[in-house]
Chains A and B, each alone.
Chain A
Amino acid sequence: MSQSGLTAEHGVPWPSNGISEIPFRVYTDQEQYRREQERLFKGPTWNYLCLTVELTKPGDFVATTVGETAVIVVRDADGAINAFVNRCVHRGNLLCLERQGNVREFGCIYHGWIYNLTGQLTGVAFEHGVQRQGGMPPEFRKEEHKLQRLRVAVLGGLVFGTFSDVTPDLETFLGPDVTRGLLRVMNRTPHVLGRNTQVMPNNWKLYFENVKDTYHASILHLFLTTFRINRLTMPGGIFINQDGGNHYSFAKLDYQAEDQEYKNAGLRSESEFRLRDNSVVESVDEYGDGVSVQILTVFPGMVLQQVRNTIAVRVIRPRGVDKTELEWIHLGFDTDDEAMTERRLRQGNLIGPAGYIAMEDGCIGGFVQRALQYNDDGAGLVMMGGHEAESQPFRASEAAIRGFWKHYRALMGD
């Protein structure tokens, strides 16, 4: 928390101690944004870094960000995964400029300082000067300098990092329900089918709330109702962890009944409200439990989704108080045959920046942000399903959003 002394003691004021009235200024206030970087992203939280399959060999690295902070994740010679801040201790230059690759060590291009794969400084160019002139002072010791480390944890093939020494271990942080939900989806070895980044003109929290918002889905996203798909949805529910910030929601689908519905539809006269090609929604029950949608979040910035047979990690990257980058990492598994891959790719039209049931989420936050521009007094309401943030056996609720604010307020100290 090196910079916490520089940030204001108090953030945006709240109308009450509750979590069902959200002051609009939390989405517009520059100082609030700065505090979030320190207290949430660098605070006692676990942040998605990469997949273990991206780090198969010693020296394999991924350069990423946690919040706004540049981070390197690398597998070392002993097979351990290390993560450290992508910033040379000398002059603060970015050490690693490529997104992914394999190295023996990290060398700063600016003055040639060298670090090994554990982040330890091992080399300083002209450390002893040139022809006995210049060089570092005698008290300088390389051993005393290393890159700022993050703690690393792995679950279900996903690598997480935390800046804080007091963050509980990952499974404790997630809670038993969310841990179970994560391991349910990540039950095989994944591979990346592709990545996309969506740049959204809104505060990062507006997107994270949207993901936790089980209330909007059937209202904002008209695709499923327009094409009369998914009427067979059976009840689902919401699990929220103790601290509130992590959750998963799920809904079941009667796959066999839906399949029969398609066959019957094919026999009836062509309706303009029927899909001409059903393959975009033709799904198989790959987990064998009837759950067709599971949306899981890890506070403060990761989403793991199963929407039918599309599996994706979404990473929320704040890029200023009113700009957010959302990276979609689409996954398949080692057990997939060509038919399964093709199924995932066709259903891929449902999600992502052009997703039939996702594209609205790319613009809705921007609409809110625009409405709040110089008009951010007052507070929004998240009272559907009560005022608390507890797990519920139904989804017409904003409980998971309240869970976000519960965790948020606890860490922000407001």
Chain B
Amino acid sequence: MDDLTIRLGVQELIGEYAERIDEDRLEEWPDLFADPCRYLVISRSNHEAGMRQGVMYAATRGMLLDRVFSIRRANLFEPHRYRHVIGPIRVKSVNGNTAVVHSHFIVARIMHDGVTTLFATGRYLDRIDISATPYRFSGRIVVLDSDKIDTLLAIPL
């Protein structure tokens, strides 16, 4: 597989990820992951210290589906949406069926009353399964620049 094909496939996956979250198509979000997988939202300070506890963690697609169902049916919070802006996508290496990909993001949070704030910034550290199209995340670590989360984290980043 040539380099450009991989880059396009990776870009499509990462764009699709942001679109499914930001357009409130959360039910389709777990489909972007392999099963088992590793999805972890963690602060930079925890990650750099080698600590593994984050704020959101899934090891299987089932856990991702449970997260979506809980957001929809079990958890109570004020309605809000995100807007992801993804920076340049860097394919760091390709090894067999796995591409290691880094990108960075900022996420604005738009509350139901229109109040918009900068909610999170950070990096995506991805392992992407490129053995079939469309590509899927076998691992996505969301490294948050800040230790602090305003109010709560309901929707995945």
Residues of chain A having any CB pair with chain B under 8 Å: 192-201, 220, 222-223, 226-227, 272, 275-277, 279-280, 325, 330, 341-342, 344-346, 348-349, 352-354, 356, 359-360, 362-363, 366
Contacts and interface: CB of A to CB of B under 8 A. Distances in A.
Given A226-B73, A280-B66, A353 B153 contact: yes
A42 to B, nearest CB: 25
B46 A356 contact: no
B75 A201 contact: no
A354 B41 contact: yes
Contacts of B153: 353-354, 359
B57 A356 contact: no
Contact of B53 (A193, A279, A325): A193
B57 A363 contact: no
A330 B54 CA distance: 9
Contact of B63 (A199, A201, A222, A280): A280
A359 B77 contact: yes
Contact of A277 (B60, B77, B148, B151): B60
B149 A194 contact: no
B43 to A, nearest CB: 7
A198 B152 contact: yes
A344 B147 CA distance: 20
A363 B75 CA distance: 11
Interface residues of B, number: 36
Interface of B: 41-43, 45-46, 51-60, 62-63, 65-67, 69-70, 73-78, 147-154
A226 B74 contact: yes
Contacts of B67: 349
B151 A196 contact: no
A192 B151 contact: no
B52 A345 contact: yes
A139 to B, nearest CB: 46
B14 to A, nearest CB: 22
Given A227-B74, A346-B59, A360-B75, A194 B152 contact: no
A194 B57 contact: no
A275 B63 CA distance: 8
Query: A interface, by DSSP: helix, strand, loop or mixed?
Result: mixed
22 contacts: A193-B51, A194-B46, A194-B51, A195-B46, A196-B43, A196-B149, A199-B149, A200-B151, A222-B76, A223-B75, A226-B74, A277-B63, A280-B63, A330-B53, A346-B63, A348-B54, A353-B151, A354-B149, A354-B153, A359-B153, A359-B154, A366-B151
Given A226-B73, A226-B74, A276-B66, A349 B45 contact: no
Nearest to A194: B53
A222 B52 contact: no
Contact of A363 (B55, B63, B77): B77
Contact of B75 (A195, A199, A325, A359): A359
Given A276-B66, A354-B41, A359-B77, A197 B147 contact: yes
A353 B149 contact: yes
Contacts of A197: 147-149
Contact of B152 (A276, A279, A353): A353
Contacts of A360: 75-77, 152
B12 to A, nearest CB: 27
Contacts of A222: 73-76
B152 A359 contact: yes
Contact of A354 (B45, B46, B56): B56
Contacts of A200: 151
B149 A356 contact: no
Contacts of B147: 195-197
A366 B77 CA distance: 11
B61 to A, nearest CB: 8
A272 to B, nearest CB: 8
B51 A192 contact: yes
Given A197-B148, A353-B151, 10 more contacts: A199-B148, A199-B149, A200-B151, A201-B151, A223-B75, A277-B62, A346-B59, A354-B153, A363-B151, A366-B151
